[in-house]
Each structure stands twice: as C-alpha cells, then as structure tokens.
Amino acid sequence: MAPDNIVHDLQKVTQLIDNYYLLESENAHLKARLQWLEKQIFGQKADRMPLPPSALQASLFGESNTPQEKLPPKLTAIATHTRSEKGHGRKAWPASLERVHETIVPTDEELLCSVCNKKRTQFDDDITEVLERVANPFFA
C-alpha cells in the first residue's frame, strides 16, 4: 500500500468518527425531547410542566424566546348611567278586571279549640287574587 492511501484512509476514519459522535449527540438530544414529549402527553399531571427555556429550544416561527416587555393595558373611559327606580316583583292586576270577593267561613266545629273547647277568635285576613279564565257564554 502506498503511504498516500494510508493518509487518505486515516482522514476518512477520523471524519467518520467525528460524524459518529455528532450523530450520537444529536440522537441523545432527540431522545431527551421525545421523553419530555411523552411525559407531557401520557404522564401524570404532576409531571406535566412547561419546558424550561434553553438554547436548544427553538421557536417554530423564528421568534426569540426572550421575554418581551409588557405594556400596560389601554384604558377606555365609559360614560356612567343611572337606573330608574322601578319596583320589582309582580304588578297589581288592572282595575278593569272584575273582582269577586269570596269569604270562606269555617264551620262551628272548626271554630272550637280541640284542647280547651273555647271559640277561636279571628286575628287576620288572608287575601289572595287569582286570575281565572271564564268562558263567555254565546247566549246570554
């Protein structure tokens, strides 16, 4: 063998060794990223944390990973308003509706107290308004 071939072969071997170590480090880096990604997708909730910013982590759109200065939010003045003093709840029935006053008087037995057999006294009125639909007769 000629000495030129040995020098050429040594250069190829060193080039292949350098290429091997480069590929080995790239493979280790990709395995670490794959392990982190699997932990994010399939891992427990406690394991799911954002990836710490590093020089190896590149942005998808070529943006820098340095934190940007936050601007204060823009404030817009809004005119105040007043609310009308309307009541709440149900409104009273219109005066045009016909009202029927019905008094329910208890029987004499219901007026007697079951303990002392004395006559009970009236102390309050209970007034309710119920809207009922009464069909008008055709022939009145």
Question: Which of 67-71, 79-83, 102-106 bottoms out in mean pLDDT, i.e. has the lowest?
Answer: 67-71
Exposure string of 78-91, with b = 16+ CB inside 10 Å and e = fewer, is: eeeeeeeeeeeeee
Reported as a single tens digit per residue, the pLDDT across 93-125 is 888 888 888 888 888 888 898 899 898 888 888
pLDDT at 55: 44
Q: What average pLDDT is seen over the chain? A: 78
Which sequence spans correspond to the domains of the chain? 3-47
Q: Confirm whether pTM is higher than 0.75.
A: no
Least confident of 17-21, 65-69, 96-100: 65-69
pLDDT at 134 over 50: yes
3 state DSSP class of 26: helix
Amino acid 97: pLDDT:
84
119: three-class secondary structure by DSSP: strand
- C-alpha torsion angle, residues 58, 60, 63, 64 (rounded to 10): -20
d(CA 37, CA 47): 11
Beta-carbon neighbour count of residue 11 at 10 Å? 10
Are 99 and 107 in contact by the 8 Å Cβ rule? The answer is no
The band of 85, judged by pLDDT with boundaries at 50, 70 and 90, is low
